[in-house]
Amino acid sequence: MDYKELVDAAIEGRKNAYAPYSKFKVGAALLTKEGKVFTGCNVENASYGATNCAERTAIFKAVSEGYRKFDAIAIVLDEHEFGVPCGICRQVIFEFGKDIDVVMANLKGEYEVQKITEILPKAFGPENLED
């Protein structure tokens, strides 16, 4: 799958965003090593801490279906600039691999790609917990 298709899937996923408070809708599409795509959207809550980001929604859906290895994740905002995942999402993405491409896109389908390690340098990961 090319990244344009992944961005298109994230744009579709964004349509389901539940963002009544911020009005800031985000979509994500996660590509597994097996070629399966899981979409996600942000889901806000009146208790802001209970809000879940689009990236984590997509990852948690994939993990709940038994997938643990990912090639890329696309994130779409309706900003003119390309938005990067929040810190918590960066940490969750890194948990599943140092080589994951983060495809940051806008609604026009324009995008740029960076490795998770580029946007989360010196990350804390599973190897930090090994004996």
Just list the catalytic residues: 55
Rg, Å, the chain Cα set = 14
| Phi, psi (deg, nearest 5) at residue 94 | -60, -30
Orientation angle between helical segments 54-64 and 3-14, nearest 10 degrees? 100
